[in-house]
Chain A
Amino acid sequence: MKLFQVAPLSISEDELIKRAQSADMDAFCLLAQRFERRIYSLALHFCHHRQDAEDLSQEVWLKSYQALNSFKGESSFYTWLRKITINCFLNHQRARSFRWRGQTTAVQLFDMDSIEAGERRESAADSEKALLDRIMAQKVMQALSELTSQQRLIFLLKHHEEMTYEEIAKAVGCSTGTAKKSVYRAVIKLREHLNIDVQTPTAFHALQAKIEIGV
């Protein structure tokens, strides 16, 4: 099986798009490589499970490959791709086809740690930092999992994608007020779950203290 090549930066995005539009799968794979982490991250925060996130993000790429000829360059490629991503997420939300684990089981992020333990264990300090980051990420996802799918998507679009409330409302198909309320609700959930002690200078130290006392 042919794997992805490392995307050469010399090839412009427009060139890759043109080649991909003429059914060049290699060019499309190089294009996907440029945005795959952003899409995967969104999917992971949306469905909280590694396998579901992979399925969902790959579905986004499949859909965009099939619809690539409809891209006319009126907006940036990522804006166009984000529209497809949002539609895919909304379809999943409606169909509930992905396995929803957010409410019932813990967010699964640690299973990949065991796989990647070797590469992450460079030094004790790095390892500890990485572990703390993981715990924080898990807490964030746990907080987001208590929101509805729409609220979660709206928060991700606002916080991760830095879209305006008007853009979000248009993309998701809700009112601006609903978008604002969803974001506020998500922030309050995060605040509750992270329960940051503001007396300590950074969240890192706050978490470190909590781990030490076994919270």
Chain B
Amino acid sequence: MHNCKANRETLIALALNPSDQTQSLPAELETCATCRKEYAALRNSLRIAGQAKQSALPGESFWPGYHARLRQRLEAGSESQALEKRTGLKTLLGNLFTSSVRVPVPVAAGLLLFLVGSFAFALNSRRPTTAPQPIVVTKTVEVRVPQETVRERVVTRVVYRERDRRQISAAKADAIAARRNEPAETPFSLIGFKPTNEVKLTIIKGSYRDEK
């Protein structure tokens, strides 16, 4: 369904630049009387605005006065420029002290806190001044250093060391091993034993202390 209001932007674009061939004339202009009327009104409004450009200008009698005032301002401007060049440093300093910069409140508060903090820190960390250092004069003096003769001395020291338990046990183990290595005695055996009918018993007296 055709909507005249939705078509308005296209009509404005067309009214602003009717010579633009890239914009095709909407079909509504042919069919819709309201759109056609609106387009004509827009074109006329812009045409009148264009005419106002000229008609709003003042008449010829205005311009000599305008020129005179402009020239006066130009001369004053160039004079002040020359003066500024002469007193450039003064102006710079003046601007430095009089100019202002807009800073957001949180940033300003942060800066202020930082400054106060750094000032307090500087006060706390200040140390007492030290005494002035004496003046150092460098002078070369020859001093004889006696040379010491080298004497040789032989020092003998006897160190007694206790044998360690491990060493002792190791020695014992060595002894046992040596004993084992000895040729084994022939084991006692009854081979060839012949019992006899006679037993000779020899008693030797006085072999014991309490023997009677």
Binding site for B on A (CB under 8 A): 1-4, 23, 25, 28-29, 32-33, 36-37, 40-41, 44-45, 50, 54, 58, 61-62, 65-66, 109, 112, 115-116, 119-120, 130, 133-134, 136-137, 139-141, 158-160, 183-184, 187-188, 190-191, 194, 196, 198, 202-203
Interface hits, B1-59 → A, CB 8 Å: 8-9, 12, 15-16, 37, 40-42, 44-59
Stretch at the interface among B65-73, B90-98, B101-109, B139-147: B65-73
Smallest Cβ-Cβ distance to B9: which chain A residue: A184
Given contacts A33-B67, A58-B69, contact A112 B58 (CB under 8 A): yes
Report the Cα distance A65→B77, complex, angstroms: 9
- The residue among B37, B48, B73, B81 with the most chain A CB atoms within 10 A of its own CB is B48
Residues of A within 8 A of B37 (CB): 198
Residues of B within 8 A of A203 (CB): 44, 47-48
Whole-angstrom distance from the CB of B47 to the nearest CB of chain A?
7
Known contacts A41-B57, A190-B45; 7 additional CB pairs below 8 A are A25-B78, A32-B70, A40-B57, A116-B59, A134-B55, A196-B44, A202-B44
Find A28's partner among B12, B49, B58, B74 (CB 8 Å cutoff).
B74
Tell me if A190 and B49 are in contact (CB < 8 A): yes
Smallest Cβ-Cβ distance to B56: which chain A residue: A137
User: By DSSP majority rule, is chain B's interface helix, strand, loop, or mixed?
Assistant: helix
User: By DSSP majority rule, is chain A's interface helix, strand, loop, or mixed?
Assistant: helix
B110 near A: Cβ within 8 Å?
A: no
Find B52's partner among A2, A29, A115, A137 (CB 8 Å cutoff).
A137
Residues of A within 8 A of B78 (CB): 23, 25, 65
Tell me if B44 and A194 are in contact (CB < 8 A): yes
Q: List 11 A-B contacts (CB under 8 A).
A: A36-B66, A54-B69, A62-B77, A66-B81, A115-B62, A116-B61, A119-B60, A158-B16, A160-B53, A194-B45, A198-B44
Smallest Cβ-Cβ distance to A159: which chain B residue: B49
Residues of B within 8 A of A198 (CB): 37, 40-41, 44
Tell me if B41 and A196 are in contact (CB < 8 A): yes
Whole-angstrom distance from the CB of A105 to the nearest CB of chain B?
17
Residues of A within 8 A of B132 (CB): none
B206 near A: Cβ within 8 Å?
A: no
Tell me if A133 and B71 are in contact (CB < 8 A): no
Residues of B within 8 A of A191 (CB): 41-42, 45
Tell me if B59 and A112 are in contact (CB < 8 A): yes
Smallest Cβ-Cβ distance to A133: which chain B residue: B55
Find A45's partner among B47, B56, B68, B71 (CB 8 Å cutoff).
B56
Tell me if B61 and A133 are in contact (CB < 8 A): no
Report the Cα distance A33→B64, complex, angstroms: 10
Report the Cα distance A37→B78, complex, angstroms: 23
B75 near A: Cβ within 8 Å?
A: yes
Tell me if A190 and B46 are in contact (CB < 8 A): yes
Whole-angstrom distance from the CB of B37 to the nearest CB of chain A?
5
Tell me if B74 and A61 are in contact (CB < 8 A): yes
Residues of A within 8 A of B48 (CB): 136, 139-140, 190, 194, 196, 203
Residues of B within 8 A of A23 (CB): 78
Residues of B within 8 A of A159 (CB): 16, 46, 49-50
Tell me if B74 and A133 are in contact (CB < 8 A): no
Whole-angstrom distance from the CB of B8 to the nearest CB of chain A?
8
Given contacts A3-B67, A45-B53, A133-B51, contact A187 B75 (CB under 8 A): no
Tell me if A61 and B46 are in contact (CB < 8 A): no
Give the 3 A-B CB pairs with smallest separation, nearest first: A133-B55, A4-B67, A137-B52
Tell me if B68 and A1 are in contact (CB < 8 A): yes
Report the Cα distance A69→B150, complex, angstroms: 92
